[in-house]
Structure 1
Amino acid sequence: MAISRLDTLIERFRNKTISEEEHAELLSLLSQPAHARTARQFFKEVIDSQSDPAPLFSAAESQELYASVQAAIQTKEEKPVAPLFPVWKWAGVAAAACVLIVASYWLLQPREPKPITPVAQTTPVKPDLQPGNKNKAILILADKKEVILDSTNAGILSLQGNAQVRKDDSGQIIYETGELKGKPPGPVYNELYIPNGGAYSLVLSDGSKVWLNSASHIKFPVNFTGNTREVEINGEAYFEVAKDRSRPFKVHFNSSTVEVLGTHFNINSYDDESIHRVTLLEGSVRVGYEEMAKGEEQPIILKPGQQAILSQSSQKSQSIPVQTVDVEQAIAWKNGYFMFVDEDIKSIMRKLARWYNFTPEYRGNVDDEQFGGMISRFRNISDVLNMFESTGTIHFKIIPGDQSGRGRKIIITK
């Protein structure tokens, strides 16, 4: 496969051999909608490599960057998206890193435009909370025995029905079927529970892969039998379903069902969210409420890049709204970062609370505050909160709780 010009420039950036002119060209290429996926992955790489929370920008530079973002947002629906990054002639690789970090990491705007205060000049939020653990989960076997996966070594964990349960060196759980002795006559179910501050992935017996976010749960058979493959979830999960035309794959959640043959999709269905979402990345899926099968209404079929919105109102009307979305936002959690787009602060705090394991407490009315931005999920929460505080519209106080984490909360005020 031929190496593209963008790949060449990114490699030179990594090797610190990029020139000033090439740096400007790299920023221009990354700002193009066609390279959005590459840009986001590269931003994440740069973010994760930084040892300090952020480089220092002057007020004029911050204002210039903010103005360019506002202009791009305002013209988004009227004409092709304008370049997100102003191409400044700054000297050296450090300048390139500054632009990339700010463009991908520190761009947060409240509903009413306000100047972005350089984060390096703000007072850090103290004390701090550590990020969650991507290999933290509890496996519940058929006999209700619990296996704490983050403290279990790699290897064979159990024999369940006619499946062997194995933990590989990366921490992933894999179910492998075989002719094992003592196979029970009926289906055998296991469950995987992800607590706050955790995440995990597993491979089902048919080869389908599932990634689960914090505060999520999945129930599944150790081996699929019959004419369908069916699992139940609560919370958020990303699926890459193995193709099998003879056995459709069904995911049940919140009185709803997603049915596929083989595809990639994300389900966000937390109990504390009023809206549940199914986002399709690849293939096609049928989405519907389970009672639709009893009436005249038919499930809707999603195409890649579409998202189904399931709520109490749509369930009553049996009419499911569908919208076109940026799928990268839906699976940002799986790729290791938070991505907020014009999102209200309470929605943001629910996502942070699941990952950093705290209880949010609001003092005063913060309902009108909305933000957008992107940051690694593996930074301490003070880095995240300092982003929001840099707008000058909202403030936080961390209560760390006891050594076990009980009583841990964050107070949010305007």
Structure 2
Amino acid sequence: MTQKNRLADLFKKYFDKTATAEERIELMLLISASDSDEELATLLEDAYQAYVPQQNPFILGKREKMLQQIQAGIADAEHHEAAIKIRHKNGWLKYAVAASILIFMAIGAYLFTYKRTTSRSNVKIDFAPGGNKAMLTLSNGSKIILTDAKNGKLASQGNIAVTKTHDGEVSYDASASTGPEKGARPSYNTITTPKGGQYQVLLADGSKVWLNSVSSISFPTSFTGKERHVEITGEVYFEVAKNKAKPFFVKAGSQEVQVLGTHFNINSYNDEPDIKTTLLEGAVKIRQLNNSFSALLKPGQQAVNKLSGPIQVRDADIEQVIAWKNGLFQINDASIEAIMRQAARWYDVDIEYEGKIPQRQFSGKIKRDVKASEFLQMLTYFNVHFSIEGRKIIVKK
């Protein structure tokens, strides 16, 4: 048996609680025998892949972070000369590895416990993931179900051609526009996504917009005058075309964001406790419309607007914020309630809680194109269970 296979075998026995005292010592010595951090990292990674439950994509999203923590633990222990040591015929070995492997084993044992729990929590009824679904409401009140519409020209709004592209995007082409007639009001369109929907829009000024589930954007078919104004609900990501002569304004509830040209995300769902505006590049100014509170954001910052006091500015986890746009659920220290709000919007289901709501924080990621059963199964690894009645998911402790 090779060293790598033996390591994986010993990991399994340790998790199964079938390892003898001699095998536990052998496991420590086997890991300690590596003279290079690179070799050690490879051994740990191979053993992890061989035994930790790979069918759970939520856990896979944590793998790199776990291994980084192990390596960080080694470096920290070596720096502080921790007192954990293992005796070997060649002298004192890498005592830091002993500390790090204990951390890794604790994580592994935790995962293995919930792997066995999962078999008792399979979801029998399933829900498909969301997809490109939206409705376009034209200025005259006509409605077009974009999900069913064929690619090509959908409508004309004045001199603007409204087109559905082969990528499933709605595009407003202003290349032939000479602007509205004198005295005419701008024509406004609205795109709305339902539960289980998402969509992308190319505005007449070249700005790109992504809508998450249960979201909407109202906008003029062409931007005339000295400013560009749109209004949103839900969660929307923007890549605004730069035009210093025409600042871009986004209204979300009682908040307004002003920008010249930038990439940013706004989460303004009514069932969330606050409005979060996250800046990726450029600069934005946020102000509350019902008072004098405002804030300026720099790239990498997030404004948290609770609407009842000053706007809080903090560093943002950009990867987590825009994960939805990139086809992922990414959760960092989130409550079960926050997680299930996302699930409700994406899988078009209702959520109910039975008994005391689990008061724990969860982290990890999973692709958004998985069925609800896979999404729910990842949570059973953390001893959260479910039952389903119709389109209602009941969360149980």
1:88 has 2:78 as partner: no
Q: Which residue pairs with 1:267 in the alignment? A: 266
Q: Which residue pairs with 2:315 in the alignment? A: 324
**Separation in 1, partners of 2:138, 2:256:** 25
* Cα 1:86–1:360 shift into 2, 3 Å: farther
Please, which of 169, 173, 197 is the counterpart of residue 172 of structure 1? Answer: 169
**Separation in 2, partners of 1:168, 1:262:** 24
Whether the aligned pair in 1 keeps the contact of 2:266 and 2:277 (CA below 8 Å) is yes
Q: Which residue pairs with 2:344 in the alignment? A: 353
What's the CA shift string for 1:30-75, capped at 9, x where partnerless?
xxxxxxxxxxxxxxxxxxxxxxxxxxx9485799xxxxxxxxxxxx
Q: Quote the offset at 1:208 in angstroms.
A: 0.2
Where relative contact order (Cα < 8 A, 6+ residues apart) is larger, the structure is 1
> What SS does the corresponding residue of 1:206 show, helix, strand or coil?
coil
Structure with bigger gyration radius: 2
**Separation in 1, partners of 2:141, 2:360:** 44
**Separation in 2, partners of 1:217, 1:203:** 14
Q: Quote the offset at 1:118 in angstroms.
A: 6.6
Whether the aligned pair in 2 keeps the contact of 1:230 and 1:249 (CA below 8 Å) is yes
1:290 has 2:273 as partner: no
What's the CA shift string for 1:76-112, capped at 9, x where partnerless?
xxxxxxx9x9542566997599779644168999xxx
Whether the aligned pair in 2 keeps the contact of 1:274 and 1:312 (CA below 8 Å) is no
1:413 has 2:370 as partner: no
**Separation in 1, partners of 2:16, 2:323:** 25
* Cα 1:235–1:118 shift into 2, 3 Å: same
* Cα 1:397–1:340 shift into 2, 3 Å: same
Superposition pairs of residues 3-402 of structure 1, within 5 angstroms? 58=12, 60=14, 87-88=42-43, 95=50, 102-104=59-61, 115-117=110-112, 121=116, 122-123=118-119, 124-133=122-131, 135-179=132-176, 185-292=184-291, 295=292, 297=293, 299-314=294-309, 319-392=310-383, 394-399=384-389, 401=390
Structure 1 counterpart of 2:297, one-letter code: L
Whether the aligned pair in 2 keeps the contact of 1:116 and 1:390 (CA below 8 Å) is yes
Q: Quote the offset at 1:217 in angstroms.
A: 0.8
Q: Quote the offset at 1:162 in angstroms.
A: 2.2
What's the CA shift string for 1:330-377, capped at 9, x where partnerless?
000000000111111011100110000000011111151321110000
**Separation in 1, partners of 2:211, 2:44:** 43
**Separation in 2, partners of 1:108, 1:198:** 31
* Cα 1:89–1:360 shift into 2, 3 Å: closer
**Separation in 1, partners of 2:211, 2:345:** 12
Paired residues, number: 321
* Cα 1:155–1:62 shift into 2, 3 Å: farther
> What SS does the corresponding residue of 1:88 show, helix, strand or coil?
helix
**Separation in 2, partners of 1:107, 1:60:** 22
**Separation in 2, partners of 1:60, 1:259:** 57
Whether the aligned pair in 2 keeps the contact of 1:309 and 1:321 (CA below 8 Å) is yes
What's the CA shift string for 1:363-396, capped at 9, x where partnerless?
111151321110000001111111111122x210
Q: Quote the offset at 1:194 in angstroms.
A: 0.3
TM-score by length of structure 2 reads 0.74
Whether the aligned pair in 1 keeps the contact of 2:52 and 2:112 (CA below 8 Å) is no
Whether the aligned pair in 1 keeps the contact of 2:284 and 2:298 (CA below 8 Å) is yes
Q: Which residue pairs with 1:48 in the alignment? A: none
Whether the aligned pair in 2 keeps the contact of 1:62 and 1:115 (CA below 8 Å) is no
**Separation in 2, partners of 1:181, 1:248:** 21
Bigger Cα displacement from structure 2, 347-356 vs 85-94? 85-94
What's the CA shift string for 1:96-136, capped at 9, x where partnerless?
99779644168999xxx981237764222211111011x11
> What SS does the corresponding residue of 2:127 show, helix, strand or coil?
coil
Q: Quote the offset at 1:291 in angstroms.
A: 3.5
Superposed CA RMSD in Å reads: 3.3
Structure 2 counterpart of 1:175, one-letter code: Y
* Cα 1:390–1:141 shift into 2, 3 Å: same
> What SS does the corresponding residue of 2:340 show, helix, strand or coil?
helix
**Separation in 2, partners of 1:361, 1:107:** 33
Q: Which residue pairs with 2:103 in the alignment? A: none
Structure 1 counterpart of 2:197, one-letter code: G
Q: Quote the offset at 1:193 in angstroms.
A: 0.5
* Cα 1:342–1:181 shift into 2, 3 Å: closer
% identical aligned pairs: 42
| Structure 2, gaps ≥5 residues long | 5-10, 18-37, 67-106
Whether the aligned pair in 1 keeps the contact of 2:114 and 2:382 (CA below 8 Å) is no
Whether the aligned pair in 1 keeps the contact of 2:128 and 2:347 (CA below 8 Å) is yes
What's the CA shift string for 1:303-323, capped at 9, x where partnerless?
111000011322xxxx11101
**Separation in 2, partners of 1:168, 1:62:** 54
Whether the aligned pair in 2 keeps the contact of 1:119 and 1:386 (CA below 8 Å) is no
Q: Which residue pairs with 1:42 in the alignment? A: none
> What SS does the corresponding residue of 1:277 show, helix, strand or coil?
strand
